[in-house]
Amino acid sequence: MSNKFYITTPIYYVNDRPHIGHAYCTIVADVVARAHRLMGDEVFFLTGLDEHGQKVQQAAQAKGVAPRQFCDEMAPHWRELWPRLSVSNDDFIRTTEPRHKAVVQSLLQQLYDKGEIYTGEYEGWYSARAEQFLTDKEMGPGGKFPAEYGEVVRLTEKNYFFKMSKYQDWLISYILEHPEFVYPDYRRNEILGFLQKPLGDLCISRPKTRLTWGIPLPFDPGHVTYVWFDALTNYVTAAGYGTPRFGQVWPADVHLIGKEILMFHACYWPIMLKACGIPLPRQVAAHGWWTRDGQKMSKSVGNVVDPVAVVDAWGADALRYYLLRELPVGSDGDWTDTNFARRYNGELANDLGNLLNRALSMIKRYCKGVVPAPGPAEPLDDELKTTALDTAKRFPGRVAKLEVNRLLGDIWELIRRGNQYVDAAAPWALAKDPAKAARLGAVLYNLAETCRIIGILLAPFMPTTADKIRAQLGVAAAPAVLADAQKWGVLPSGGSLGEVTPLFPRKDK
Ligand code: MSP
């Protein structure tokens, strides 16, 4: 029976250009989505764009275009990036779409009708130049705001508030009772720590006099919706909220996000859903941040890693491999070009590339390119077979726990065993003795069978490479399914290999 699996990325701010941090989040989600498809699950994988708010309105103004046009011009940078990174999202949501406006307004109206929203006064430091309220974050030493904000005045304005605070105790109990809700564990503790302090009510509106670029409140067209209320709702919009499909897709299984937006996802969002009577997502998983050469990436420093440039130089699979292999989901990572090249040459070209190339070249040379027959197993063979099957058996557990980095480590252990097997069994020596022809065939069969299993297990991580492995083995016609990696002896003897070419040409400088 297939299970449904719904995974999301954050919706990215449309006014940014995609960089390696955004690519990382989306690629991790893609690996998990593909892994679930490989297990036979019914997957829905969502990404998209966050298009409303002050920053977009200002960026559009600066370019002298309407916000709508600005968004339409920026959106392709994002939408078209994902296929280049082999990202297999099933939907791409933009918060300016009519389907989204309808859902945001419907949720707001329901909350309003239930008495969960009230009007109040918002008082704070307002910068007319920046057209925004400033918080303590912006305040410099001595309680002064930086000069770029111009004159900052105390301002009071009428706004709408969502009664978030009354759900605080409920949320604490919920998180305590559902240890898997916030991932990893240390982030859960961080959220519980944050919830020790009183949670205020959430201001969910901005007066139109200040901000026009937003979804109007259904009960007061003089106000637009606060951007986080609008943004978080995307996850239910895309699941078809208000249609029969919603019951089949929702709740989300994993909201994958960066650590700095955990509070919105693990506090605001569950409370919004609870107040609307919508079931909660199973998990909010926070990943870490990438630096480059130990430094924060920033446009002004000019050290931002551009995912497109990496893909052009090294290929999407090499990028995906590096990002996934470097660190577990949750930890921070540091990008260095040297480390990237080292992993490429050592792990992709050498370990993986050599295993496949050696195995298949020998089948070409010694068996005319036809998969030989398996023979009686020797202890050496059993060891290889056990490693392969154990790796495939561990796969679902690793994926369920988002241990995709360890899973990749397991697969590399199998690849290394495969290479050791070649050295120990020494097919080139067997080939010199006609009496050992059957043993030679058996050894090459075991190698090809190991490569077949690797060609399935790698599919979520490096989809193009996995396809190439299976094409070279002559088994590309059958779709990759995990169950086939959990069995030994599936590769048919007598089948012809495809064209044998190196997977990752070495790029030593
Ligand atoms: N629009 C909001 C999210 C709304 S979700 C309902 C937003 N957008 S964002 O474009 O600023 O950031 C999106 C994601 O990119 C975040 O999860 C963030 O962690 C990730 N990253 C941005 N820079 C990053 C790194 N340097 N490293 C890793 N991920 C980082 O926030």
Q: Is 289 in the pocket of ligand 1 (CB under 6 A)?
A: yes
Domain 337-485 coded CATH 1.20.1440.120: no
Q: Is 24 in the pocket of ligand 1 (CB under 6 A)?
A: yes
Q: Is 454 in the pocket of ligand 1 (CB under 6 A)?
A: no
Q: How far apart are CA 251 and CA 88, in angstroms?
A: 20
305 CA from centroid of ligand 1 (Å) = 15
**Structural contact between residues 161 and 200, judged by C-beta atoms closer than 8 angstroms:** no
- Which residue's CA lies nearest to atom 29 of ligand 1? 21
Q: How far is CA 422 from the centre of its chain?
A: 36
94 Cβ contact list (under 8 Å, min separation 6): 14, 48, 49, 51, 71, 75, 100
Q: How far is CA 138 from the centre of its chain?
A: 31
Is the peptide bond between 184 and the residue preceding it cis, with omega within 30 degrees of 0? yes
Count the neighbouring beta carbons within 10 Å of the beta carbon of residue 397. 10
Q: What is the pTM of this model?
A: 0.96
- Which residue's CA lies nearest to atom 16 of ligand 1? 258
Q: Is 229 in the pocket of ligand 1 (CB under 6 A)?
A: no
Q: Comparing C-alpha atoms, which of 493, 438, 458 is closest to residue 356?
A: 458
pLDDT for residue 1: 58
Phi, psi for 164 (deg, rounded to 5): -80, -35
Q: How confident is the model at residue 509 (pLDDT cuts 50, 70, 90)?
A: low
3-state class of 301 per DSSP? coil
- For residue 266, give the DSSP letter: I
Tokens representing 53 are: 């708010």
3-state class of 464 per DSSP? helix
**pLDDT per position as a tens digit, 265-309:** 999 999 999 999 999 999 999 999 999 999 999 888 999 999 999
- For residue 329, give the DSSP letter: B
Q: Is 236 in the pocket of ligand 1 (CB under 6 A)?
A: no
Q: How far apart are CA 241 and CA 252, in angstroms?
A: 12
Tokens representing 47 are: 């990404």
11 CA from centroid of ligand 1 (Å) = 8
Q: How far is CA 96 from the centre of its chain?
A: 23
Tokens representing 435 are: 């009496």
Ligand 1 binding pocket mutation candidate from 7, 16, 25 (most atoms within 8 A of CB): 25
Q: Is 260 in the pocket of ligand 1 (CB under 6 A)?
A: yes
What ligand 1 atom has the least distance to the C-alpha of 296? Answer: 26
333 CA from centroid of ligand 1 (Å) = 15
Tokens representing 448 are: 């090809």
Q: Comparing C-alpha atoms, which of 458, 187, 461, 415 is closest to residue 323?
A: 461
Written as one letter, the residue type at 133 is F
Q: Is the pLDDT of residue 318 over 70?
A: yes
Q: How far apart are CA 272 and CA 197, in angstroms?
A: 19
9 CA from centroid of ligand 1 (Å) = 9
- Using CA atoms, how far residue 25 sits from 10, 286, 335, 419, in Å, is 8, 9, 15, 32
276 CA from centroid of ligand 1 (Å) = 26
- Give the mean model confidence (pLDDT) for residues 439-462: 98
- Give the mean model confidence (pLDDT) for residues 184-203: 96
Q: How confident is the model at residue 500 (pLDDT cuts 50, 70, 90)?
A: very high
Neighbour-count burial for 472-508, b at 16+ CB within 10 Å, e otherwise? bbbbbeeebebebbbebeebeeeeebbeeeebbeeee
475 CA from centroid of ligand 1 (Å) = 39
238 CA from centroid of ligand 1 (Å) = 19
296 CA from centroid of ligand 1 (Å) = 14
pLDDT for residue 452: 98
Q: Which sequence spans correspond to the domains of the chain?
A: 337-485
- Which residue's CA lies nearest to atom 6 of ligand 1? 232
What ligand 1 atom has the least distance to the C-alpha of 10? Answer: 5
425 Cβ contact list (under 8 Å, min separation 6): 380, 443
307 CA from centroid of ligand 1 (Å) = 15
Q: How far apart are CA 200 and CA 186, in angstroms?
A: 24
261 CA from centroid of ligand 1 (Å) = 8
Q: Is 67 in the pocket of ligand 1 (CB under 6 A)?
A: no
**Structural contact between residues 14 and 56, judged by C-beta atoms closer than 8 angstroms:** yes
pLDDT for residue 132: 78
- Which residue's CA lies nearest to atom 17 of ligand 1? 258
Q: How far apart are CA 381 and CA 385, in angstroms?
A: 6
Q: How confident is the model at residue 2 (pLDDT cuts 50, 70, 90)?
A: confident
238 Cβ contact list (under 8 Å, min separation 6): 8, 46, 48, 91, 93
- For residue 303, give the DSSP letter: -
User: Virtual CA dihedral for 323, 80, 66, 10, nearest 10 degrees?
Assistant: -40
Q: Is 238 in the pocket of ligand 1 (CB under 6 A)?
A: no
Ligand 1 binding pocket mutation candidate from 50, 260, 261, 334 (most atoms within 8 A of CB): 261
- Give the mean model confidence (pLDDT) for residues 425-434: 97
**pLDDT per position as a tens digit, 52-79:** 998 899 999 999 999 999 999 999 999 9
Q: Is 93 in the pocket of ligand 1 (CB under 6 A)?
A: no
24 CA from centroid of ligand 1 (Å) = 10
- Which residue's CA lies nearest to atom 8 of ligand 1? 12
- Which residue's CA lies nearest to atom 15 of ligand 1? 22
Count the neighbouring beta carbons within 10 Å of the beta carbon of residue 464. 14
**pLDDT per position as a tens digit, 276-285:** 999 999 999 9
Q: Is the pLDDT of residue 483 over 70?
A: yes
3-state class of 47 per DSSP? strand
pLDDT for residue 299: 86
Q: Is 33 exposed, middle or buried (0-12, 13-18, 19+ CB in 10 A)?
A: buried
- Which residue's CA lies nearest to atom 13 of ligand 1? 12
Size of the chain, expressed as the number of residues it contains: 509
Q: Comparing C-alpha atoms, which of 486, 321, 506 is closest to residue 389?
A: 486
86 CA from centroid of ligand 1 (Å) = 20
- Extended strands (E) in 295-337: 333-335
422 CA from centroid of ligand 1 (Å) = 45
The HSE-up count of residue 308 (CA atoms within 13 Å, CB side) is: 8
Q: Is 102 exposed, middle or buried (0-12, 13-18, 19+ CB in 10 A)?
A: middle
Q: Is 12 in the pocket of ligand 1 (CB under 6 A)?
A: yes
pLDDT for residue 130: 77
Q: How far apart are the first and last CA of the chain?
A: 50
Q: Is 187 in the pocket of ligand 1 (CB under 6 A)?
A: no
- Using CA atoms, how far residue 182 sits from 17, 33, 115, in Å, is 29, 19, 29
Q: Is 316 in the pocket of ligand 1 (CB under 6 A)?
A: no
Tokens representing 326 are: 């470097």
Across the chain, mean pLDDT equals: 96
What is the per-residue DSSP string for 195-253? Answer: TTSPP-PEE-EEETTT--SSPEETTEEEEEE-HHHHHHTHHHHTTTTTSTTHHHHPSPS
Q: How confident is the model at residue 324 (pLDDT cuts 50, 70, 90)?
A: very high
Q: How confident is the model at residue 34 (pLDDT cuts 50, 70, 90)?
A: very high
Q: Is 10 in the pocket of ligand 1 (CB under 6 A)?
A: yes
- Extended strands (E) in 324-379: 333-335
- Host H or E run for residue 64: none
